[in-house]
Structure 1
Amino acid sequence: MKKENIPNALTFIRIVFIPIFILILMFGKSYAWHVVAAIVFAVASITDYLDGYLARKWQVVSNFGKFADPMADKLLVMSAFIMMIELKMVSGWIATVIICRELAVTGLRLLLVETGGVVLPAAMPGKIKTFSQMFAIIFLLLHWNLLGQLTLYVALIFTIYSGYEYFKGSAYLFKDTFR
Structure 2
Amino acid sequence: MSREGGAPGIATAANVVTVVRVVAIFAWLAAAELAGPLLPDAVSVPWALTALLFIAIASTDSLDGYLARSRNEVTDFGKFLDPIADKLVVVSSLLVLMAQGLVSIWVVVVVVAREFLVSGLRMVVASKGVVVAASWLGKAKTATTMGAVGGYLVAMALPQAWAPTLWLYGLSWVAMAAAVVLTVWSGADYLAKCWKYLS
Deviant stretches of 4+, over 3 Å? 1-4
Give the 5 Å matches for 1:85-104.
85-104=98-117
The percentage of aligned residue pairs carrying the same residue is: 33
- Structure 2 unaligned runs (5+)? 3-7, 39-43, 156-167
Give the distance between the partners of 2:51 and 2:129, measured in 1 at CA. 38
TM-score, scaled to structure 2: 0.81
Match of 2:186 among 143, 158, 162: 162
Give the distance between the partners of 2:103 and 2:111, measured in 1 at CA. 11
- Structure 1 unaligned runs (5+)? none
CA RMSD of aligned residues (A): 1.8
**Deviation digits for residues 95-141 of structure 1 (CA, Å, limit 9, x no counterpart):** 21111111211121122212x12233321000000111111111011
Matching residue's letter, 2:134: A
* Residues 118/37 of structure 1: CA separation in 2 closer, same or farther (3 Å cut): farther
**Match in the other structure for 1:55:** 68
Give the distance between the partners of 1:68 and 1:12, measured in 2 at CA. 8
1:21 aligns with 2:12: no
* RCO comparison, higher one (Cα < 8 Å, 6+): 2
Q: Which has the higher helix share?
A: 1
Give the distance between the partners of 2:131 and 2:53, measured in 1 at CA. 30
Matching residue's letter, 1:56: R
Number of residue pairs matched by the alignment? 174
TM-score, scaled to structure 1: 0.89
Give the distance between the partners of 1:42 and 1:110, measured in 2 at CA. 31
**Match in the other structure for 2:176:** 152
Matching residue's letter, 1:135: G
**Match in the other structure for 1:38:** 51
Give the distance between the partners of 1:103 and 1:26, measured in 2 at CA. 27
Give the distance between the partners of 2:150 and 2:189, measured in 1 at CA. 26
Matching residue's letter, 2:31: I
